[in-house]
Structure 1
């Protein structure tokens, strides 16, 4: 049976961590966080699971490794990283999305996606869940999974105002999954704008090519988290009764711990977590940067704001 997967796609600092945390609270759903971070930062560099253990030592992830590959030691990380470099990059998006794809592209994408399919299937077995959530975000990975993997994929495309993303990407945010106290990557407003355009357009095109997609904005999600989560439940074909939704209200969520990878510091928060719109960019993003980002992203920004 094909594993059922909800892939959260979008740009960094767009609310993907919040979204996967809320989805992971639902019965029958297991959220793995950003699975794309498993191979290098997780296994190779020794980052932490949200349970506090090294990913390579976490009981949950060790069992996934056993079922998927016969143990993490049996996985050729160098081959995985080599394969990733040949297909899971922005420069390969045109080849992945165009109508006629070469045999070489198909073979690389299918081989790469098969690693993820094995992780998803193993996670469902270990957790006993029916649906797995991957918040890896990247459009190139979504293309590989949506077109070539033997999985039942649902793409949730979340979009945040480009100016909010640009401001967030200039801030140094401590990574809670790194033993050495590293920070999340930063980017200039110019680079963020270009990435925002490319990633969102690619995810939109992927939906037009037949991948089941639900698009929403971060701002609308924060305005009505309960209503939007119900929409996602219906989109994913989940059966969730009202008592199971009591962890969420219009202004806060009560979150349990889990076993996820990557994401901003919110991925490790438990208990009552406030839900409020992060629009500090309106007063903190320099006027010159705000005008630059607005000009570069205006056509899409205007269209998505109407959605």
Structure 2
């Protein structure tokens, strides 16, 4: 007897280098009917479940009703620690060190033949997220170009890439800041990075994202953090069109505040814990406070791609 296969699960993948505004973008997209934003799913197994860090709703993830229901829908139960470690180990194969190879073979994932079970698990997970979230599209802000290649192997996923970029000098400045991570173990701060390293990663991640999506023929949109903040309605309209759901206006107050509901995001920037009225303003502190030598260094390393993205030298 013939059984119709389920329709593909649409995934809107937020790509880009860290500190580019993806957590803010996802929080805004989660307000659009038909979309459900769930953070950096790549880190679900380790940070979310093994370490039991908090969901953005404020509850430890193993106790979060949303994620417990998702895991039961996908796997029949919350996987035990051995299974979680196996899933995390598979996820770790899609990491930054594979970037040079991806620039040469951009859609070929590492050890593809050994990971069929993992790709099937991802398909079940994203399908369960969409069902429990009552959404047409799952928004995943994992960002890693390498993890994008994993999603391309998962059966039954319709992946679309929303690629967020930000002026690399602003990104480099952000990576230098001392920032608290309220969810990190032992009160650790968010990681910091020298501007030279940030500039190299910014270039490599963005180039790898472009190459993967182009070679795979994925629906793709690149948008800028600066436009998201200063022109939120127009920018979100373009992104939601890419996702395939009807656009909805952004709720912005008279003082420029964005009204954000509580979400269920895994990992990401600490801004994910904020709900209610959140100020929507351009973070351009780098223009006044960034050391001139760091500005020159970052600008020189990123010049070709930075200019193509519309960020000039002034």
Fold match by TM threshold 0.5 = yes
8 Å contact 1:96–1:105 — kept in the other structure?
A: no
> By how many angstroms is 1:274 displaced?
1.6
- For residue 214 of structure 1, the aligned residue among 212, 215, 221 is 221
Specify every segment of 5 or more residues in structure 2 that has no aligned partner in the other structure, as ranges. Answer: 1-6
> By how many angstroms is 1:148 displaced?
4.8
In the other structure, the counterpart of 2:34 is 28
Alignment of 1:123-272 (within 5 A): 123-178=129-184, 180-209=186-215, 210-240=217-247, 244-248=248-252, 251-272=256-277
In the other structure, the counterpart of 1:301 is 306
> By how many angstroms is 1:179 displaced?
6.0
In the other structure, the counterpart of 2:24 is 18
Tell me the TM-score normalised to structure 1 length.
0.91
In the other structure, the counterpart of 2:290 is 285
> By how many angstroms is 1:182 displaced?
2.9
> By how many angstroms is 1:167 displaced?
0.6
Alignment of 1:107-122 (within 5 A): 107-108=113-114, 111-122=117-128
Instruction: Pick which of 177-186 and 159-168 moved more.
Output: 177-186
Cα RMSD (Å) of the superposition? 2.3
8 Å contact 1:33–1:136 — kept in the other structure?
A: yes
8 Å contact 1:83–1:112 — kept in the other structure?
A: yes
Cα distance, 1:163–1:77 mapped onto 2, change above 3 Å: same
Tell me the TM-score normalised to structure 2 length.
0.89
Is residue 80 of structure 1 aligned with residue 87 of structure 2?
yes
Say which SS state the counterpart of residue 245 (structure 1) adopts. coil
Q: Distance in 2 between matches of 1:237 and 1:168?
A: 32
> By how many angstroms is 1:78 displaced?
2.0
Cα distance, 1:19–1:149 mapped onto 2, change above 3 Å: farther
Cα distance, 1:299–1:101 mapped onto 2, change above 3 Å: closer
> By how many angstroms is 1:234 displaced?
1.4
Alignment of 1:31-70 (within 5 A): 31-70=37-76
Q: Distance in 2 between matches of 1:200 and 1:293?
A: 15
Cα distance, 1:304–1:272 mapped onto 2, change above 3 Å: same
> By how many angstroms is 1:172 displaced?
2.2
Say which SS state the counterpart of residue 176 (structure 2) adopts. coil
Q: How many residues align?
A: 303
